[in-house]
Amino acid sequence: MILEKFRELKKTWNKDEVKSISRRYFISNGFDGTLTAVGITVGSYLSGVSTGATVFKVAAGAAVGLATSGVWSVWEIEKAEKLAQLHDLEENMLKELEGTEIHQIKKQGRVVNAVASGAGPVLGVLLTASPFLLEGILLNMFQSTAASVLMAVGLLFGFGVYMADISEQNWLKAGLRMGLAGLVVAALNILLPG
């Protein structure tokens, strides 16, 4: 039963439209999550938060919020979009398509889109904040913050390389363009008053 469901979702994932929309949500929300996490980690250090565990807990809270937002908004957006597509198709087919395979695929596509949308920020926030788990063991607060910014830049670079790979762009340029955003957010946090 679970295997069957997994096979169906995999089949849905392989549909070009589902894959491309999911990818977009994953990268876009992953980008948001990563930069939010940089803001939290650098801001926490500059505000004098004294333990890495506290920073990680705050970041985890942000991950929950962003993931919920990602899943919820995409669930509603894709429901509306896919129903509109179905109604449009019904007009062309001159028949109702409720309950048909095409309707099922659209419903499953919405699940895949929502999961990808929620997974992006979870990955972005938790990976970026993860060096703070080592604070007090291997790193101090400054080193944890620096490692967190580096982690974020690396992750953003990875997003850039992935996008370059699917669009056949120069991977180094695309990676650097994305990675730069992490450094910009860190710099803005340092430069902005307060």
Which position among 1, 3, 101, 192 is part of the footprint of another protein (CB under 8 A)? 101
Shortest reach from residue 101's CB to another protein, in Å: 5
Shortest reach from residue 22's CB to another protein, in Å: 16
What distance in Å separates the CA atoms of residue 93 and residue 1, rounded to the nearest whole number?
Answer: 32
Which position among 9, 89, 111, 134 is part of the footprint of another protein (CB under 8 A)? 89
Site for another protein in 143-182 (CB under 8 A): none
| Site for another protein contains 84 (CB under 8 A) | no
What distance in Å separates the CA atoms of residue 164 and residue 161, rounded to the nearest whole number?
Answer: 5
| Site for another protein contains 103 (CB under 8 A) | yes
Shortest reach from residue 9's CB to another protein, in Å: 16
| Site for another protein contains 20 (CB under 8 A) | no
| Site for another protein contains 105 (CB under 8 A) | yes
| Site for another protein contains 134 (CB under 8 A) | no
| Site for another protein contains 95 (CB under 8 A) | yes
| Site for another protein contains 79 (CB under 8 A) | no
Which position among 20, 51, 68, 100 is part of the footprint of another protein (CB under 8 A)? 100
Which position among 93, 138, 172, 187 is part of the footprint of another protein (CB under 8 A)? 93
Count the neighbouring beta carbons within 10 Å of the beta carbon of residue 3: 7
Q: How far is CA 183 from CA 6, 39, 122, 133, 138, in A?
A: 39, 11, 20, 21, 23
